[in-house]
Structure 1
Amino acid sequence: MECFKQIQAKEAFVAVVGLGYVGLPVAVAFAGKVKTLGFDINEAKIDLYRRGIDPTNEVGNEKLQHTTLEFTANPARLKEAKMIIVAVPTPINGDKTPDLAAVIKASEMIGQNLTPGSIVVFESTVYPGVTEEICTPVLERESGLICGKDFNIGYSPERINPGDQVHRLENIRKIVAGTDAATVEAIAAVYELIIAAGVYKASSIKVAEAAKLAENAQRDINIAFMNELAMAFDRMGISTNDVIDAMNTKWNALGFYPGLVGGHCIGVDPYYFIYQAELLGYHSQIIAAGRRINDDMAAYITAQIIKKLIQAEIHIKQANLYVMGITYKENCPDLRNSKAVDVCRQLAEYGVKVKVVDPVADQMELRKEFDGEIIDIQEVREADCLVFLVAHQQFKALRPADLANMFKPPHLTKRVVIDIKNIFLQTSLEEKVYSYWSL
């Protein structure tokens, strides 16, 4: 517990490596309790944070402007830390295999600045074994130190839900694991400084790594099940939303809904499980099937949009179509692995000139991901079709009269509304001469 005592006495820093949607809230939370360093290799990002600008919206500009967190892009400053938390992205490659480049690079850099008596805790999502079998040898090689003797390691999977204002860092129970019992106790004590919900001590690092994959794969499968139901119910002429409302009257209904599944967790983590399982000779059936269904939903939705345009006798290449929402989830600026972006690209392949409206998206990232026209919601005029892919709060606030002002007059076009997230009441729109389709 010497590490914890030094941190609690403010004799040493906690350092967070990687200041994105996960790392920034963790770093700011620790800064409210102890001396904390926030490190990122992106100097432009560090500059924004120092000026009190939070493009993630996870902390907010005001809180960022008043934090005592020390921002740095200088890796040498990590020598001042006794606990180093790694929160770098772990995406997938084009062939759906794990991309561990960032976590390996972070391990190299930390190893070069690691001091005896330190604990390195990984929060990045990985498959079981990565922390001990890939990252630890890198730390040892670069530092010349021995794990278990000169320093220790731990794993604590991130559970932050970007854009969620209810389930926040401090009220989500934290899983912790370490090389030995003393390390686990030290890691738990440090996290308990900021996690009001407390910690759960996993039996091993591999168990903690696997828990993150399991919880996200479970959610992915449940959404895939609802997506499969939605595609079948559409053919049956049944409203999926009505079925869910009826089903959810039972106490043990799970409350999942169909939709696009993207982002840096649910759309990625199951592939980490699939990859390692196949290396060991087990070929995933349920998890792989769920991934196939969810990965194919963008194409299915695109086909439905084209179908509805044709049925409304709207010329596809001349359609004035607006996509409302392009981030991977509601009320979150993150575009990583957004399936809404895939829908836009697929519509463009049909010759549709897509215009995107998203009041929440990180505009700089949006222009990197989408090369079409980006407009404000006030500029939506003379529409033939509105495609609501993401249920941002600003879209939920729209009334039928607001929608009417966005469309061409009804005598000029059949007004098409595609409502993937069931934002609007179907009957109210159909009564007002809309062609309405929801997932």
Structure 2
Amino acid sequence: MKNKPIIIIVGLGYVGLPLAVEFGKKYKTIGFDINPSRVLDLSNGYDKTLEVDSDELKASKHLSFTNDLEQIRVGNVYIVTVPTPIDNFKNPDLAPLLKASQSIAKVLKKDDVVIYESTVYPGCTEEDCVPVLEKYSGLKYNQDFFCGYSPERINPGDKVNTLTTIRKVVSGSTPEIALQVQELYNTIINAGTFLAPSLKVAEASKAIENAQRDVNISFVNELSLIFDKMGIDTHDVLEAAGTKWNFLKFKPGLVGGHCIGVDPYYLVHKAQSLGYYPQVILSGRRINDNMGMFVANKVVKLMIKKGHKIDGSKALILGVTFKENCPDIRNSRVIDIYNELVQFGLSVDVYDPWADKKEVHEEYSICLLDNLDGRNYDVIILAVSHEEFQAVDYNYLKHNYSSIIFDTKAFLDRKLIDARL
């Protein structure tokens, strides 16, 4: 690794691909993914996540892609960037991580280094992944092979705060390996690196990043619930409070995605395994997980107030991705609004020009509209603030003057809407 790194990136999603592209500009790099169609797309210069364009792929001259395990045997640095989701009971699902570790173990050689970037709970690398590496490779940890942990900090859809412009936390299983991992990442990270004293500290730093943001958003979401009962606009209150220099300007909203809505449960899992029940983190999660239901119920109350017949009314949800100007639908909480409205008896359409129709149908059993031509609705809910939604003619979409427009993002002109989150 120290003299001539040959880098294997395992998992080519929102995290792995940008990493592979940057390393591929400097070193022989192979991107490995178990999805053959993903490998084919990338080999042809197309990234459906829109994180990397075709010119960037071409600029990565030392990068190739494969789904053949044998082709990654040449590597000496394996970087794992697979998803770490939660199951239906909100427990960590380590299956992708452990399967990736098992695959790497089959090609692992003496002196190789395995670096994990996937978000986990503190201790996961050494307690869960290393035993798999040892079992299937026959090699001994910190004698025959070594590990590192460098938590990903990718923000999907963000073209300003990118991989190379965000300072990166790094760590290694020995002091020497830690320095080598730091040196390697410093060759591609313009913002520099921070060397954590241990793998566990690096793992914990990532876990609390998202937990902190989750708790802060849950606070303003709770304020939104309270101010709704008072008849006060939450954003007006936040604007007034924000005039103080040290006020944190978080906004209410749906909390989805693969990070903020998932990672706190990894920290919770580890804490509970040690006999501690983390009340602040879990209370924040409960508030955030219920915001979709609150939006749907608020909309139905507005409908009743305006004299609408609930059963059979037509509703339109604009946006299904977990955030604006991004095709990522993972853990989107828009589905909570959809499901609740359907249970009330509404006929609900969903339109999102960024989302992949096939993925949405497979994940959520929703058939996205192709366009909004000739359609009108009793209820319109702006759920995601895609830039395209600024140009929509909302009056054209309204069934009549009593149709309701609800804005979950404080994105639209206040004169146009009936209420906002």
User: CA 1:397/1:194 → structure 2, altered by over 3 Å: closer, same or farther?
Assistant: farther
Please point out which of 303, 312, 315 is paired with 1:318: 312
In 2, Cα distance between equivalents of 1:358 and 1:199: 37
Partner amino acid for 2:25? G
| Aligned partner (choices 25, 33, 54) of residue 26 of structure 2 | 33
Aligned to 1:76: 70
Counterpart in 1 of 2:48?
55
Cα 1:31–1:249, aligned 2, differ >3 Å: closer, same or farther? same
Relative to 1, partners in 2 of residues 1:245 and 1:141: Cα closer, same or farther, differing over 3 Å? same
Alpha-carbon displacement from aligned partner over 1:72-106 (angstroms, at most 9, x marks no partner)? 00112222111110000111111111110111111
Residue of structure 1 aligned with 2:128, choices 117, 127, 134: 134
Cα drift, residue 65 of structure 1: 4.9
Letter in 2 for 1:344: Y
Q: Distance in 1 between matches of 2:265 and 2:163?
A: 25
Structure 1 length normalisation: TM-score? 0.93
Q: 1:405 aligns with which of 373, 391, 396?
A: 396
Q: Is the 8 A contact 1:341 1:369 kept in 2?
A: no
Structure 1 match to 2:9: 16
Letter in 2 for 1:137: P
Say yes or no: does 1:421 pair with 2:415. Answer: no
Displacement, 1:373? 4.2
Residue 205 (structure 2) pairs with residue 202 (structure 1): no
Three-state SS of the structure 2 residue aligned to 1:38 is strand
Partner of 1:4: 2
Report the equivalent of 1:110. 104
Contact 1:354 1:372 in 2 (8 A): no
Is the CA contact 1:390–1:421 (under 8 Å) kept in the aligned structure 2?
Answer: yes
Q: TM-score, normalization: structure 2?
A: 0.97
Q: Would the alpha carbon gap of residues 105 and 127 (structure 1) be closer, same or farther in structure 2, given more than 3 Å must change?
A: same
SS of aligned partner of 1:344: helix
- Alignment correspondent of 1:279: 273
Deviation at 1:393, TM superposition (A): 1.3
Residue 153 of structure 1 aligns to a residue whose secondary structure is: strand
1-structure distance, mates of 2:200, 2:387: 39
Distance 1:407 1:286 in 2: 41
SS of equivalent residue, structure 2 residue 171: strand
- 1:98 is paired with a residue whose SS is coil
Q: Give the match for residue 355 of structure 2.
A: 361
Q: Say how many residue pairs are matched.
A: 420
Distance in 2, matches of 1:368 and 1:244, equals 38
Contact 2:114 2:148 in 1 (8 A): yes
**Larger deviation, residues 66-75 vs 416-425:** 66-75
Q: Would you say 1:437 and 2:407 are equivalent positions?
A: no
Contact 1:116 1:150 in 2 (8 A): yes
On the 8 A contact 1:170/1:197 being kept in 2, the answer is yes
Q: Name the amino acid aligned to 2:395.
A: A
Deviation at 1:263, TM superposition (A): 0.9
Q: One-letter code of the match for 1:338?
A: S
Distance in 2 between residues matched to 1:29 and 1:361, nearest whole Å: 26
* Contact 2:110 2:144 (C-alpha < 8 Å) held by counterparts: yes
Q: Distance in 1 between matches of 2:121 and 2:294?
A: 30
SS of residue in 1 equivalent to 2:4: helix
CA distance in 2, matches of 1:390, 1:314: 25
Q: 1:154-169 alignment to 2 at 5 Å?
A: 154-169=148-163
**1:213-263 deviation line (CA, Å, top 9, x unaligned):** 111000000000000000101111111011111111111111100001111
Compared with structure 1, are the counterparts of its residues 287 and 417 closer, same or farther at alpha carbon in structure 2 (3 Å cutoff)?
Answer: same
Contact 2:7 2:76 in 1 (8 A): yes
- The SS at the match of 1:223 is helix
Partner AA of 2:420 in structure 1 = S
Q: CA deviation at 1:368?
A: 1.4
Cα distance in 1 for partners of 2:390, 2:399 equals: 21
What residue is the counterpart of 2:173 in the other structure?
179
